[in-house]
Structure 1
């Protein structure tokens, strides 16, 4: 059984909305923990927006815990180059969502077998990067289910055999913070491996790249058979020992504000791809018409520099007009296709077709 807290009077936030009042002193009693009801939402853009919006806007007298499950998606770390982290061919073929989050760390794969959590509380220096503090309650409940998990390295939970079952990251404002992570309960590990299987030798950047580790599902190491909803219920029961779990249910106007934030941030190409750090791409292939070697410099997700080399027999003598035409174009298949519409590259590239050139520019897989 659950009870609802009175909803604070909050207006729909801007991205620059002020944060909550200053936190309580370190020696104060811990604020009550409240469960946020995400109402079964599985849209990753909406769940990430919900997490950010509640962090910035809910009553700071409370700590909050949010659980959510996402449809198949790759969640990119704040400082990562999206194109280095995903298998583009697989992602596009399977309609896997790709969304950048607020926190740092590596890319993670989400699906209906993965339960995500987020603890929200006042920001204090001793809590930042203190993953032991935030994962301890989860480890205690997992142990009661027969899953002995330990914190390894900075931010991973591993099972007894050393395989990773959870990755964690954090984000803070000057006054509030969240520590969130994955709980791989019954994730499709084959899909995970395919979605994050990237050919690394064609992109050169200074972005933070993910470190792949051996992974395991909690259902495999726990020795019990149940589904994700049951797993979530057991976690809630273990984390909220009182008879009634305090639950925060968003009003319709608050959901409108979350939806607005999702539209303005988490559904925008400029955030999910364009926010990647600068990187360089080299594409080279030999066609019947000759070898074409393309060097690209990408900044803010757009083509900033491009040079085309090769031994093809172009009839214009220079590829400069094509290079100039492509500068400033978002480095994404549809944007490139649109930019090349109505342009015939064959005289410049010795008879190479537009489709072949487009496939070379944005090679997938």
Structure 2
């Protein structure tokens, strides 16, 4: 539930039983604080708010942001959504994917997953050190966790927290997830694209076995993890400020940078148009022969598409298929205009090939 604050003056509120010192404001927040908890579960808001803090907070002071999101898939800045995400499952479940501003791999967010973001001056930024802050937090809850060589937090060999990073000029951040009670079956379905023959110049996710903290430590929940991370952050960076509570109904969305960021994250140009170049090689058997195709795309636009057919395929059909795929050049990958569909409908064999190509590109 999003909490609305009507008063414009700062109001002392009780956050937890461990007496975290918190305050909230009915007006838009400023980037001058050191610890923020977002009560919004809108991933577009939280990612934009995080980026706003990163760009506007003084780079010489540490900052911590904690939040949760409604179900979504979040891909890295330089990743390929067609390679990383089961887009058909995404559409069927209504769970969107969002391209974030940092690098790294693809992760799944839901209310059983808590996200942390630690911002530091670039000069003192150390990925291993920031991972240790979160490790100390979960260990303080009685969790026997460790950090692997990728700075992921694991319980045994199973990953419970993945991380990504961003460095710009004199500032940097380390942000990550903590799987507490995430729906792992949904995670698995959405992150399984099956595009093994798609070769991309983008960053590929490193697949790892995962588990929820509550599978082994049933007493751990979102509130306890948040308190533990704040305590560890305060001790590590000698921060004594109160926690700034933020929601998406207190004027924050009216901050122009955040408003623009939320809008941009939802656009085709950002979600798909930032995709690095990739090549997808596929093959399919039809009653009249086998067809293989090679599709090249960059920034979500098809650069070229070629097809090869069985030797026994008649020349007229080969020519029709060559004309069809030539029309794909310059089209958005996964989209099609009516002219191409009409061309395919003139021959049922061409129609079959077209439906196969369209299904492959749209999944």
TM-score normalised by the chain length of structure 2: 0.80
Task: Name 1:210's counterpart in structure 2.
Answer: 205
Taking only aligned residues, the RMSD between alpha carbons, in angstroms, comes to: 3.2
1:110/1:352 CA distance change after superposition, 3 Å: same
Alignment partner of 1:138 is 2:137: no
Question: CA contact under 8 A between 2:35 and 2:241: conserved in structure 1?
Answer: no
Give per-residue Cα distances to partners, 1:45-80, cap 9 Å, x unaligned: 221111111110134464221111112211112222
| Structure 1 residues 180 and 105: CA distance shift in structure 2, 3 A | same
Asked whether 1:261 is paired with 2:261, we answer yes
- Over 3 Å counting, the alpha-carbon distance change for 1:230 and 1:101 in structure 2 is same
The answer (yes or no) to whether the contact 1:34–1:248 under 8 Å persists in 2 is no
The match for 1:54 is: 53
Q: Which residue of 1 aligns with 2:8?
A: none
- Aligned twin of 1:24: none
Indicate conservation of the 8 Å contact 2:111/2:182, yes or no.
yes
1:150 and 2:146 correspond: yes
Aligned to 1:117: 116
Deviation digits for residues 259-285 of structure 1 (CA, Å, limit 9, x no counterpart): 211212x11222222212211112322
Select which of 290, 300, 324 maps to 2:326: 324
Q: Give TM-score, length-normalised by structure 1.
A: 0.80
Give CA deviations for 1:147-168 in whole Å, capped at 9, x if unaligned. 1221111220111x22111111
The equivalent of 1:221 in structure 2 is 216
Count matched residues: 334
Aligned CA distance change for structure 1 residues 133 and 327 (closer, same or farther; 3 Å): same
Query: Which runs of structure 2 are paired with 1:167-178 in the superposition (5 Å)?
Result: 167-178=162-173
In the superposition, relative to structure 1, how do residues 361 and 87 fare at CA in structure 2: closer, same or farther (>3 Å)? closer
Q: Which runs of 5+ in 1 are unaligned?
A: 11-19, 21-31
The whole-number CA distance in structure 2 between the counterparts of 1:236 and 1:347 is 65
Question: 3-state SS of the aligned residue for 2:186?
Answer: helix
Change (3 A) 1:253 1:109: closer
Q: Which consecutive residues of structure 2, in runs of 5 or more, have no partner in the other structure?
A: 1-12, 14-21
Structure 1 pair 191/9, CA: closer, same or farther in 2 (3 Å)? closer
Distance in 2 between residues matched to 1:352 and 1:135, nearest whole Å: 53
Task: Tell me the SS of whatever aligns to 1:3.
Answer: strand
- Asked if the contact 1:8/1:58 (under 8 Å) is kept, the reply is no
Check the 8 A contact 1:33/1:63 in 2, yes or no: no
Deviation digits for residues 104-159 of structure 1 (CA, Å, limit 9, x no counterpart): 221111111100010122221x51xx222112232222222111221111220111
CA contact (8 A) 2:73 2:96 kept: yes
Tell me by how many angstroms 1:243 deviates: 8.7
Task: Output the CA distance in 1 between the equivalents of 2:339 and 2:228.
Answer: 54
